[in-house]
Amino acid sequence: MALQVYNTLSKKKEDFVPLEPGKVSFYVCGVTVYDHCHIGHARSAIVFDVIYRYLLRVGFQVTYVRNFTDIDDKIIRRAQEEGTDYRAIAEKYIAAFHEDMNALDVLPPSLEPLATENIPQMIEIIELLMEKGIAYQSGSDVYFQVEKYPDYGKLSGRTLEDMVAGSRVEVDPNKKNPLDFVLWKGSKPGEPAWESPWGPGRPGWHIECSAMGERFLGKTFDIHGGGKDLIFPHHENEIAQSEAAHNRTFVRYWLHNGFVNIHNEKMSKSLGNFFTIRDVLERVHPESLRLFVLSKHYRSPVDFSDETVGEAERGLERFYHTLGTVEGRTPPEESPPADDKALRSQDPELFEELERMPLRFREAMDNDFNTAQAIAHLFTLQRHLQRFMDRFGQKKLKGPAAQLARKAHDVLVEHGRVLGLLTRSPGRFMEEQKKLKIQLTGLTEEEVEQLIAARQEARKAKDFGEADRIRTDLEGRGILLEDSPQGTRWRVSV
RNA sequence: GGCGGCAUGCCCAAGUGGUAAGGGAGCGGUCUGCAAAACCGUUAUUCACCGGUUCGAAUCCGGUUGCCGCCUCCA
């Protein structure tokens, strides 16, 4: 079975066939760098990161471009407010964006072009549109005349008549049609400006993606992604500009991710109901956030709440717990490796599960990147593996049993990583999780360790009343204790 | 007003015509000094509602209700 993707343009799932066999040209709209990113941006970044990872995994050579919009009204306003230059603002928030992406284990794209470094390419397209009579100058601005592009509206599924009729767009005396959009914006004195045939100015928002897509991926490329809110007008306008200028298909597959909601409402800057990535990472492990995002299909809305994120956290802890159990109770490698028959005889069900994993995982992901289903398969394998480990009590495994457990462990990790999950050692994950969560309790690790030691003394002396008192007290402060033959482990539950 | 999406157990969630995955929570059990964790068992004759197509529908078609999004900057 081949990869199928839902194409916003056709409103259908289609077989994915790249323009050039074996190669994928992939563009995702990045962010406008005027502020910190919120978890809506995180979702988009994570979703397309997984798509990128999956395309690589199935063997495509991928050129992945994600731009930065580093010049626009909001950046200029921000610079004025802070009494600085637009460049300083852009640089600051590009750095912050990279920090956030690193924290989220989002892989760097092949290229991260800046709008301001591609202005000649934008001017070229605008000139072409002017020559063809599709664009017009009005005052110091240049507009795209939507009526000259008959397919206008094909991505968002509406017609010019529909839009004009119910339009909330204010009538702009410069425009021939209220839906005409700006390609080049004349600068006011004091504003950043670039020279152009139409006087000093700056590019309109939409033209940058047309120019950068074309420059780095070609006049026609395979995939263009972004949030659903970009379908109109941003992507609609990109199509209009590029296709009107070159008379050829701009993008073959349009992919759009759903929103992050808060209490069932879209999170957005304008509504003010947003959490920045860095704020959330103060109390949620980045992998938990990834699992949370990927637990639902990328096109559906996802509701962000303590409860839904908490579920992801507990799920991830379960994965790592099982991985840790295997690592702690099996030798890393044994030779000669047992053959399949020997492995299967240890636990036919577990063996079947791990044998089926690659195919099931692939089927899920081939189905328009169904990460929720892929994760369900991972959980099923985890449960079988943990069940197998439990059969041996606390004993260490050896021989074929150990090898079967190791193999299942490796299969779990290998597939998890395609989703950017299970990338750490269990020990490191638990440590990071503890360090993150302990801050929320007001306790320090040392204090917890001391109390655990005191409880250990009480337990030795069979003073269970005192031992339980300490445990209950810690529990009240968000610390849960787990006794095991290897000692007492603790974790934070807040 | 126009366009589009969604409605699955207590909660989250997959399901793309063949008889309801997975996770969380709850309850019962195993383990434990007692717990916790883990594992086992258990929780939808039913998929918002009403019609229709079909041997067969959560899945297709029509209608109703509710929620959400886009049409303005927005991932």
Q: What is the ipTM of this complex?
A: 0.95
> Which nucleotide is nearest, taking the CA of residue A158 and each C1'?
B3
As a three-state string, the secondary structure of chain A is CCCEEEECCCCEEEECCCCECCEEEEEECCCECCCCCEHHHHHHHHHHHHHHHHHHHCCCEEEEEECEECCCHHHHHHHHHCCCCHHHHHHHHHHHHHHHHHHCCCCCCCECCEHHHCHHHHHHHHHHHHHCCCEEEECCEEEECHHHCCCCCCCCCCCHHHHHHCCCCCCCCCCCCCCCEEEEEECCCCCCCECCCCCCEEECHHHHHHHHHHHHHCCCEEEEEEEHHHHHHHHHHHHHHHHHHHCCCCEEEEEEECCEEECCEECCCCCCCCCEHHHHHCCCCHHHHHHHHHCCCCCCCEECCHHHHHHHHHHHHHHHHHHHHHHHHCCCCCCCCCCHHHHHHHCHHHHHHHHHHHHHHHHHHHECCCHHHHHHHHHHHHHHHHHHHHHCCCCCCCHHHHHHHHHHHHHHHHHHHHCCCCCCCHHHHHHHHHHHHHCCCCCCHHHHHHHHHHHHHHHHCCCHHHHHHHHHHHHHCCEEEEEECCEEEEEECC
Q: A4-281 — its CATH code?
A: 3.40.50.620
CATH node for A314-426: 1.20.120.640
- DSSP bridge partners of A221: A251
Edge-to-edge strand order for the sheet containing A23-28? A61-66, A23-28, A221-227, A251-257
Instruction: Find where tokens 């044998």 sit.
Output: A355
At residue A296, the pLDDT reads 96
Task: Look at the alpha carbons of A385, A386, A391, A396 in this order and tell me if their dihedral is positive or negative.
Answer: positive
Show the low-confidence residues of chain A (pLDDT under 50).
none
Q: Which two tokens stand for residue A177?
A: 């049609």
Domain map of chain A by residue range?
4-281, 314-426, 441-492
Tokens read off for A139? 């005052």
Q: Give the CA-trace dihedral at A239, A365, A64, A72, to 10 degrees.
A: 50
Q: How far is the CA of A324 from the C1' of B31 (A)?
A: 19
Residue nearest to nucleotide B15 (CA to C1'): A373
Which single residue has its CA nearest the C1' atom of nucleotide B30? A390
Question: Which of A328, A322, A288 shows the shortest CA–CA distance to A308?
Answer: A288
CA(A466)–C1'(B30) in Å? 27
Q: Report the candidate in A95, A105, A155, A42 with the shortest Cα–Cα distance to residue A421.
A: A105
* Separation of A459 CA and B30 C1' (Å): 24
Q: Distance from residue A13 (CA) to nucleotide B55 (C1'), in Å?
A: 29
pLDDT of residue A295: 96
- Compute the mean pLDDT over every residue in chain A, rounded to the nearest whole number: 94
**Which nucleotides on strand B sit less than 7 A from a protein beta carbon?**
1-6, 11-16, 21-25, 32-40, 67-75
Q: CA end-to-end span of chain A, whole Å?
A: 44
CA-to-C1' span, A3 to B19 (A): 28
